[in-house]
Amino acid sequence: MDKTTIRVSTSTLIKIAAVFLLFYFAYLVFDLLVLLFIAIILASLIDPLADWFAKKRMWRGAAVFLIYILVFGVLALVLVLLVPIIISQVTQLSVNFSGYWEKIMTGFSAIKTLSVRFGLWENLQTTLPATLQGSVMTAQKLISSIFGVFDWIFSFVLVLVMAFYMVVEEDGFKKAIRSIAPSEYQNYIGQLWARIKEKLGDWLRGTLTLGLIIGAMAYAGLLILGVQYALLLAVMAGIFEMIPYAGPIFSGLVAVLLAFLQTGDWPLPVFTAILFIVIQQLENNLLVPKIMKKAVGLNPIVSILSLLIGFRLLGVVGALLSIPVATVLSIVLTDLVDSREKK
């Protein structure tokens, strides 16, 4: 019987080991890589604005600084106008939560019967609403929350600084990326970086525009219908627009549930559901083709799988980043397939 001998060269073993080490290093600095990717998305968003200011003979650093000031100024104005109303509605929702919880439990008679049989009903009625309202925090949780806030602030500032230098030192950053790659791939890396920035910028600008429009439409519709917490629900609809497929469905279900709890009857929740269905149809057939025509272009199945994987790995943050990550991977994989077909 013939024996087949497989020889593996030393260079191949070194390459395999290098790949494993690269993945291990990426695992160790995964949090920093996430922040870097967020900074790339932010830089992709503001880069066209910086280019516009640069054409007006303004230094790119001053342009980015001015963009930051304008953005934070608008955000501060929005927060001053909206946050008091949102806090008031959240407080009102918290106060009414016990009554809403009673309505929900009454609607699930089978669950009630089962929980009474096992002696759980009283515990559910007394402990769960209190838990959901977060009445007490231990000292340990409070300390963790404080450190968590500082961690978020540090991460936020780090993202702003990285995005600033990516836009201001665009050529330097591109050269740094190209210098890491082998000489035969340096031109391709430069072109790839430009395409990735363009795609991510188109995606984020389109998504933010959609979020604003959807939030405004939801707010107007909920006000007309007389649904309580209209502003809170509209803000939720706008934010969850960043999570494809699942986000709009979730915000619509929450609105329908609160509409039902408000009246205890079916007409208002039915009209609320119709409102969100109409908004969704307008988005899919009118807004998305106009606003997102240059962005992403991912297959729906790929988008859903990316969303599930992102949520599984990083929760809500992973779900928000899933589409831009999938977009970058699709660009790279498409290039690989095209290069193999040319060979």
Could you give the CA distance from residue 204 to residue 183 in angstroms, rounded to a whole number? Answer: 32
Residue 293: inside a domain, yes or no? no
Residue 274: inside a domain, yes or no? no
Residue 194: inside a domain, yes or no? no
What is the structure's pLDDT at 138?
A: 43
Residue 134: inside a domain, yes or no? no
What is the structure's pLDDT at 173?
A: 62
Is residue 254 within 8 Å of 236, Cβ to Cβ? yes
What is the structure's pLDDT at 199?
A: 84
Is residue 200 within 8 Å of 258, Cβ to Cβ? no
- The closest of 320, 294, 293, 298 to 307, measured between CA atoms, is 320
What is the structure's pLDDT at 318?
A: 84
What is the structure's pLDDT at 135?
A: 41
The answer to whether the predicted template modeling score (pTM) of the entire model surpasses 0.75 is no
Q: Which single residue is written with the structure tokens 């922040």?
A: 35
CA atoms within a 13 Å half-sphere pointing along the CA-CB vector of 60: 15
Residue 4: inside a domain, yes or no? no
Domain ranges, residue 60: 24-127+139-168
The total domain count for the chain is 1
What is the structure's pLDDT at 101?
A: 67
What is the structure's pLDDT at 139?
A: 42
Q: Which residues of 19-43 are buried (b: 16+ CB within 10 A; e: fewer)?
A: eeeeeeeeeeeeeeebbbbbbbbbb
Residue 220: inside a domain, yes or no? no
Residue ranges for the chain with pLDDT beneath 70: 1-9, 11-12, 15, 100-150, 170-183, 293-297, 341-343
